[in-house]
Amino acid sequence: MKAPTTLRANSVFAAVAFAILWTCNAIADSASGDQVASFSDAISKGKAALSFRYRYEHVDQDGNDENARASTLRTRLGLESAGYRDWKFGLEFNNVTVIGSERYNSTRNGLGQYPVVADPDGTVVNRVYVDFSPGKSALVLGRQHINRNNQRFIGAVAWRQNEQTYDAFTAGTGELNNWQLDYGYIWQVNRIFGPDEGTPQDEFDSDSHVVTAQFKGFDLATLSAYAYLLDLENSPPNSNRSIGLRLNGKQNFADNGSIRYAAEYATQSDYGDNSNDYSANYYLLELGADVDAFTLLAGWEVLGGDDQAAGKSFRTPLATLHKFQGWADKFLVTPDAGVDDRYVAATVAFLEATAALIYHDFRAESGGQNYGDEWDFYVQRAFRKRHVLLLKYANYRADSFATDTKKWWLQYFINF
């Protein structure tokens, strides 16, 4: 259990956040327009944002002596200047506090008898950046979010209480004549396991380049090409080069329906100091239909591997991994034999809420093993735009990979 002094310190943090928010919003009420006349106005007429996200996460995992019961509160305070001659800057803090007893393995607290819930407590500078955005283009220098396409390769991992951010320079054109180009150079990845050092690593030292190009001139789909050259200097097995194409779109039919579809292919090989000489492939096919408040989606995602050799599977170490291959998070690192994930999902909107039910069948891409299957479910409702309540459940049933795992979450979010 956390010492009372730590809880008092976090209470002071929240009180100061409220005070700054109140002051800045009061000043910002007098601002008008997107650009201000002076640098001092850019500061005084800036905006503040404050949010709280409370989450209770329960994990029942075979092989652990105890069930995890993680009760955490995330407090986030952000400040952003008004625009001045197309320049602005921002600063954002993120604090995670344990509420009540610490009955989970945060990866930092040494409580190995519990399953992992990767939400260590502590305070970090989540973002600090300078943004120059003339016209549709944008150049950003500093600690920032980077999300590319559907976040399968590069993402901010927004599900966890402490996000993944990037110390980087990014440049984007915006949409110009149906084209959009984005480039990023990343010299450090700030992972969800911080702020303290430990295992898994809290940071990746990086010398990485990420490039994406999108063409939006087709009536039925958007075509994306990408090259992700990840040189993670203190994690050589995760260094790789991925080159790929993605096609996704949506077509309306009748007055109340649409069809959605996606197809993607990528090839990956070793890069940087990765000593594994390998190549692996990635495939994705999705087809879905929307009718009124209902959505039905079927998908097939394959990350290649080799069941006869270690370290030669297709990896996406900077992805928002929780979005893919089931919410029980059993495949955060791709097994050597790869993963073949076949899934169906049904979503419905009702009474100002949204609910979804998803089924995954997991197999090895190489060697033919049945890994297991998983059922996922969530229901979410927003109240008065600022409040969001979420109930979520995952049930992974192991066959030849990992162990049976049940997780459920209750989450409340409010922003100011």
d(CA 18, CA 75): 11
Reported as a single tens digit per residue, the pLDDT across 294-315 is: 999 999 999 999 999 999 999 9
Name the band, by pLDDT with cuts 50, 70 and 90, for residue 17.
very low
Residue 27 above 60 pLDDT?
no
CATH class of 141-158+169-416: mainly beta
Which residues does residue 206 pair with via DSSP β-bridges, in sequence order?
Answer: 232
Residue 281: closest CA among 270, 272, 269, 273? 269
CATH 2.40.160.10 domain locations along the chain: 141-158+169-416
Task: Taking residues 252-276, report their average pLDDT.
Answer: 95
| DSSP 8-state symbol, 35 | B
For 244-270, the three-class secondary structure string (H helix, E strand, C coil) is EEEEEEEEEECCCEEEEEEEEEEEEEE
Name the band, by pLDDT with cuts 50, 70 and 90, for residue 40.
confident
Residues, the chain: 416
pTM of the model: 0.90
Q: Between the CA of residue 126 and those of 71, 119, 287, what are the distances in Å? A: 21, 14, 36
| DSSP 8-state symbol, 104 | S
Residue 135: how many CB atoms within 10 A of its CB? 9
Q: What residues contact 83, with CB distance under 8 A and at least 6 apart?
A: 34, 35, 36, 42, 133
Residue 33 above 60 pLDDT?
no
Q: Between the CA of residue 348 and those of 35, 255, 291, 345, 382, what are the distances in Å? A: 41, 18, 10, 10, 15
CA-based torsion, 251, 253, 259, 265: positive or negative: negative
Residue 225: closest CA among 240, 247, 202? 247
Residue 242: closest CA among 319, 301, 159, 132? 319
At 183, the amino acid letter reads Y
106-134 burial string, b = 16+ CB within 10 Å, else e? bbbbebeebbbbbbbbbbbebbbbebbbe
The percent of residues in the chain predicted with pLDDT above 70, rounded, is 92
